[in-house]
Amino acid sequence: MNTTSERGLLFSTDLLLAVVILLLTSLAGLAFLSSLALHSASALPAYRLQRQGLFFLDALVKNDASQSFPGLAAFDSGLHRVTPNFLSPAPTAPELQGFPLLQSLRLVPFNGPETQWADKPLTGPANQASTTCYSFERLVLVGKEKALLIGVFCDG
């Protein structure tokens, strides 16, 4: 036969156990969400660097110099339009101010000397081994000569 105090003790223990389980469940959920957020945050800078590099080079080969954004494509007056991937035989250096992630930009013809438009020293932390860089290439036609437009983008 149970006394009131025994039932009370059993109830308290049961309640304590339920509260502990509730807290542990909440903790597990929060820990999972935290790890998810940290994982996403660590992957974001690399993604942002890749995206800026890809889209910057894409804009270079598709815009001409008359646009507000830097561009290297030639304007065909006969067609009355900019010709993506086709550069004039002697392309001029694009305006590269305001693009701090751009480390270097080179135009390397298949047969001929390369042209370097940008080559900045790394300005990031002293331990430059931690700097992340991505290199992207685009094929263009310079006059009648095929060339690779190579851009290197770094986060430091």
Partner 1 sequence: MDERGLYFSLEALLGFAVLVLVLLSTKPAEAPDLKPLYLLQKQHDLLVVWVGQGIPSLPEMESDFRRVFPGFSGRIGFNDEFVAVGEPASNAFTESIYYAAPSGALGRLSITLYD
Q: Residues 101, 136, 150, 156: which binds partner 1 (CB under 8 A)?
A: 136
What whole-number distance in Å separates Cα of residue 138 and Cα of residue 73? 12
Residue 77: both structure tokens together:
């007056």
Check binding of 35 to partner 1 (CB under 8 A): yes
Rule CB under 8 A: which of 82-101 touch partner 1?
A: 83-86
Count of other CB atoms within 10 angstroms of residue 58: 13
Stretch that binds partner 1, among 3-11, 91-99, 114-122, 124-132 (CB under 8 A): 3-11
Q: What is the DSSP string of 34-92?
A: HHHHHHHHHHHHHHHHHHHHHHHHHHHHH--TTSSS---EEEETTTTEEEEEEE-SSPP
Check binding of 21 to partner 1 (CB under 8 A): yes
Question: Which residue do the tokens 């986060």 mark?
Answer: 155
Site residues for partner 1 per CB under 8 A: 2, 7, 10-11, 14-15, 17-18, 21-22, 24-25, 28-29, 31-32, 35-36, 39-40, 43, 46-47, 50-51, 54, 58, 61, 83-86, 110, 136-141, 144, 146, 148
